[in-house]
Amino acid sequence: MFGKDDIVFSYTRSDAIADGVLVDVTDYTPEGEHVTLVRQAGFKIPVALTRAVYDSCVALPEEYEGLDDITGRLWDILFCMRMAAERNKQAAGVRFKVSVRDIAGKHDSGTQRVHELVSVIGPGDDANPVITIMYPNED
């Protein structure tokens, strides 16, 4: 019916990662370790976060001097997602919540904020399964 030549425009997962719309965390390996954090959390397929989730829940300002670190913040998301997935093994996507400290500038505010996130398993650019973590309004 339709062939590859009939496609006018396509925007792939790779394009979204290259553009910064998605942040690929698949190969993130904590300093001094030999196994990726995604693998440590029990996932065997690629994982990406939307830029909004990464910026709100993982990223830290360069000048930050507190106790939080990117590894711990990313681990919290992956762990909470894993627990939600374990409770919903047949679902292609799950909703879960993660509590994240509010951080702006050099120090954190000491307050926690709960973020409701969604993880979706779907086909990547090569049709193999991938996970995307996003806010509910981003799909």
Q: Calculate the average pLDDT of the chain.
A: 90
Q: Calculate what percentage of the chain has a pLDDT beyond 70.
A: 94
Average pLDDT over residues 102-111: 75
Range of weakest confidence among 2-11, 30-39, 111-120: 2-11
pLDDT in tens, 20-62: 999 999 999 999 999 999 999 999 999 999 999 999 999 988 8
Strand partners, 120: 93, 132
| pLDDT computed for residue 53 by the predictor | 98
Residue spans per domain, the chain: 4-138
- The answer to whether residues 136 and 119 touch, using CB atoms and an 8 Å cutoff, is no
Torsion, Cα 50 51 54 59, to 10 degrees, reads: 170
d(CA 59, CA 97): 17
d(CA 96, CA 115): 8
Q: What secondary structure letter does DSSP report for 4? A: G
Does residue 4 have a pLDDT over 80? Answer: no
pTM attached to this predicted model: 0.88
At 91, the pLDDT band (50, 70, 90 cuts) reads confident
